[in-house]
A and B are shown apart, each in its own frame.
Chain A
Amino acid sequence: MATLEIRDLHVSVEADNSTKEILKGVDLTVKQGETHAIMGPNGSGKSTLAYSIAGHPKYTITSGTVTLDGEDVLEMSVDERARAGMFLAMQYPVEVPGVSVSNFLRTSATAIRGEAPKLRTWVKEVKSAMEQLQMDPAFAERNVNEGFSGGEKKRHEILQLELLQPKIAILDETDSGLDVDALRQVSEGVNRVHASGEVGTLLITHYTRILRYIKPDFVHVFAKGKIVASGGPELADKLEAEGYEEYTKGGVTA
Chain B
Amino acid sequence: MAEAQNIPVGSTTAGTIAVAADSTVATRMSAPPSFDVADFPVPHGREEEWRFTPLERLRGLHDGTAEAGGVLTVEVTAPEGVTVETVDRTDARLGRAGTPVDRVAAQAYSSFEKASVVSVPKEAVLTEPIRIAVHGEGGTAYGHQVVELGAFAEAVVVIDHTGDAVLAANVDFVVGDGAKLTVVSVQDWDDTAVHVSQHNARIGRDASFKSVVVTFGGDLVRLNPQVQYAGTGGEAELFGLYFTDAGQHQEHRLLVDHNTPHCKSNVAYKGALQGDGAHAVWIGDVLIQAAAEGTDTYEMNRNLVLTDGARVDSVPNLEIETGEIAGAGHASATGRFDDEQLFYLMSRGIRAEEARRLVVRGFFAELVQQIGLPDVEERLLAKIDAELEASV
Q: Tell me the A residues contacting B by CB distance below 8 Å.
A: 54-57, 77-79, 81-83, 87-88, 90, 93-100, 103-104, 107-108, 111-112, 143-144, 160, 164
Contact = CB atoms under 8 A, between A and B. Distances in A.
Contact of A88 (B347, B364, B366): B347
B344 interface: yes
Given A78-B343, A103-B362, A107-B358, A97 B350 contact: no
A111 B351 contact: yes
Nearest to A163: B348
Given A83-B349, A98-B359, 13 more contacts: A57-B343, A78-B347, A79-B347, A79-B351, A82-B348, A93-B344, A94-B340, A97-B362, A98-B364, A99-B362, A103-B358, A104-B345, A160-B348
B346 interface: yes
A112 B348 contact: yes
A190 to B, nearest CB: 17
A226 to B, nearest CB: 24
Contact of A99 (B335, B339, B349, B359): B359
Given A78-B346, A103-B358, A111-B350, A98 B341 contact: no
B304 interface: yes
Contacts of B112: none
A79 B346 contact: yes
A111 B304 CA distance: 25
Interface of B: 304, 335, 339-341, 343-352, 354, 358-366
A170 to B, nearest CB: 10
A100 B366 CA distance: 10
B349 A94 contact: no
A164 B345 CA distance: 13
Contact of B347 (A54, A97, A99, A144): A54
Contacts of A95: 341
Contacts, number: 81
Given A94-B341, A98-B366, A111-B351, A104 B358 contact: yes
A82 B347 contact: yes
A107 B335 CA distance: 23
Nearest to B342: A78
Contacts of A90: 344, 347
27 contacts: A55-B347, A57-B339, A57-B343, A77-B352, A82-B346, A83-B349, A87-B347, A90-B347, A94-B344, A95-B341, A96-B345, A97-B362, A97-B363, A98-B304, A98-B364, A98-B366, A99-B362, A100-B362, A103-B362, A104-B345, A104-B358, A107-B350, A107-B354, A111-B348, A111-B350, A111-B351, A112-B348
B352 A79 contact: yes
Q: Which 4 A/B pairs are nearest by Cβ-Cβ distance?
A: A98-B363, A108-B348, A111-B349, A98-B362
Contacts of B364: 98
A168 to B, nearest CB: 13
Q: Is the interface of A mostly helix, strand, loop or mixed?
A: mixed
Contact of A108 (B335, B339, B349, B363): B349
Given A79-B350, A107-B358, A111-B350, A97 B304 contact: yes
Given A94-B341, A94-B344, A96-B344, A79 B349 contact: yes
B360 A104 contact: no
Nearest to B365: A98
Q: Is the interface of B mostly helix, strand, loop or mixed?
A: helix
A169 to B, nearest CB: 12
A82 B365 CA distance: 27
Nearest to A105: B348
Given A57-B343, A96-B345, A98-B366, A108 B360 contact: no
- Residue with the greatest number of chain B CB neighbours at <10 A, chosen from A57, A95, A107: A107
B58 to A, nearest CB: 33
A116 to B, nearest CB: 13
A100 B343 CA distance: 17
A97 B343 contact: no
Contacts of A79: 346-347, 349-352
A82 B352 CA distance: 13
A96 B359 contact: yes
Contacts of A87: 347
A94 to B, nearest CB: 4
- Residue with the greatest number of chain B CB neighbours at <10 A, chosen from A87, A90, A96: A96
B363 A104 contact: no
Contacts of B359: 96-99
Contacts of A108: 345, 348-350
B340 A164 contact: no
Nearest to B367: A98
A94 B350 contact: no
A82 B360 CA distance: 22
Given A78-B346, A94-B341, A99 B358 contact: yes
A94 B363 CA distance: 16
A97 B349 CA distance: 19
A102 B361 CA distance: 14
A92 to B, nearest CB: 9
Contacts of B363: 97-98
Contacts of B346: 77-79, 82
Nearest to A100: B362
A79 B365 CA distance: 25
Nearest to B333: A97
Contacts of B304: 97-98
Contacts of B348: 82, 104, 107-108, 111-112, 160, 164
